[in-house]
Amino acid sequence: MNRAQQGQSFLDVVAQQTGSFEEIISAALLNNRSLTEDLQVNTLVKVTDGIALRNNRPATALRSTLHPGSQQKGIGFMSIGSTFKIS
């Protein structure tokens, strides 16, 4: 078993433990989890026949970096006449 680290999805942890994506379906059934589920830090994940790999820590879970109340800025978020001003 291995524990999830920050930013790791279920796929990341299984790939980290087994070295391949071939064990993902059986690991999902064993852990009763979705293949695309993001994991909380320190969540335990069990695999059937895995090879413990070291220094292989994929972290592909996507996270929004915007905080509530923050305003997006930049040319991609401006609209002419309201936020984009020409002087």
Euclidean distance between CA atoms 20 and 2, whole angstroms: 15
Percent of the chain, pLDDT > 90?
Answer: 1
pLDDT tens, residue by residue, 29-69: 889 998 888 888 888 888 876 555 555 566 666 666 656 66
Domain residue limits, the chain: 1-62
Amino acid at 29: L
Cβ 9 vs Cβ 61: under 8 Å: yes
Cβ 21 vs Cβ 57: under 8 Å: no
